[in-house]
């Protein structure tokens, strides 16, 4: 009788596992199909594409959103109200002083100069695989990475880095600092931009190694 129940339990567990697994594969296929559409429309940044392809090619993961890092000029109605913000400039690359000065001159409320590091949201099928990619990301220098939410077969891992610049630069249409200061900001933002590009390359190498292990 014990043996009968053990067999029954084993069959039930297999079916539950199979059900979860097949719904996971279906969801991944749907997401990757939308990803391909975004790619065709040119909405995915070239700099982060190899990383996304490497992650999506692995069996336990898919990506849901990403940014390869950016320099932005944000016009904010007030501190923290990023929902009502207007982008006066947005670049996923190193910047030139003149384009930044132009974008700042367009700010009418609170103009902020911001450098955001790369960010990737990865969905993993279980906690062990989530921990694996998290640990790789942290070792590659993405020290602000973490697991953001845990659901049955949907663990969200954020890959994120620490390189930042965030400072107010204009108020009510009046630029608070002179050109020399803004040129220095541009110089340092570009330096930090190069640093996180190197981190992306390091991450690509480690992700590629996972393919060899899987073979």
- What's the closest the beta carbon of residue 186 comes to a copy of itself, in angstroms? 11
The one segment of 21-29, 44-52, 54-62, 191-199 that binds a copy of itself by CB under 8 A? 191-199
Which of 49, 22, 37 minimizes the C-alpha distance to 207? 49
Binding of a copy of itself by 176 (CB under 8 A) = yes
Binding of a copy of itself by 45 (CB under 8 A) = no
Whether residue 157 contacts residue 121, with contact meaning beta carbons closer than 8 Å, is answered with: yes
> Judging by DSSP bridges, how do beta strands 146-151 and 165-171 pair with one another?
unpaired
Longest dimension (CA), the chain: 84
Instruction: Give the count of residues interacting with a copy of itself (CB under 8 A).
Output: 37
Closest to a copy of itself by CB, 62 or 163: 163
Backbone angles phi, psi at 77, to 5 degrees: -65, -35
- What's the closest the beta carbon of residue 42 comes to a copy of itself, in angstroms? 29
- What's the closest the beta carbon of residue 150 comes to a copy of itself, in angstroms? 4
The one segment of 23-31, 90-98, 164-172, 205-213 that binds a copy of itself by CB under 8 A? 164-172
CA distance 131 to 119: 17
CA distance 142 to 187: 22
Whether residue 75 contacts residue 108, with contact meaning beta carbons closer than 8 Å, is answered with: yes
Q: What is the contact surface with a copy of itself in residues (CB under 8 A)?
A: 2-3, 6, 79-80, 113, 127, 131, 134-135, 138, 144-150, 158, 163-168, 171, 176-178, 180-181, 184-185, 188, 191-192, 195
């Amino acid at each position: 009788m014990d043996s009968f129940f053990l067999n029954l339990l084993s069959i039930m567990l297999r079916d539950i596992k199979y059900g979860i697994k097949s719904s996971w594969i279906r969801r991944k296929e749907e997401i990757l199909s939308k990803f391909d559409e975004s790619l065709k429309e040119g909405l995915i940044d070239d700099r982060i594409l190899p990383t996304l392809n490497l992650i999506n090619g692995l069996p336990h993961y898919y990506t849901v959103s990403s940014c390869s890092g950016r320099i932005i000029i944000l016009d904010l109605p007030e501190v923290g109200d990023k929902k009502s913000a207007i982008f006066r400039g947005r670049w996923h690359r190193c910047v030139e002083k003149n384009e930044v000065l132009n974008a700042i001159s367009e700010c009418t409320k609170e103009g902020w100069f911001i450098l955001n590091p790369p960010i990737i949201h990865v969905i993993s099928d279980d906690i062990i695989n989530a921990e694996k990619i998290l640990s790789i990301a942290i070792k590659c220098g993405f020290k602000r990475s973490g697991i953001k939410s845990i659901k049955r077969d949907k663990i969200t891992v954020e890959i994120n880095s620490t390189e930042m610049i965030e400072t107010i630069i204009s108020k009510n249409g009046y630029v608070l600092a002179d050109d020399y200061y803004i040129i220095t900001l541009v110089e340092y933002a570009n330096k930090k931009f190069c640093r996180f590009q190197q981190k992306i390359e390091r991450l690509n190498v480690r992700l590629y190694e996972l393919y060899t292990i899987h073979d």
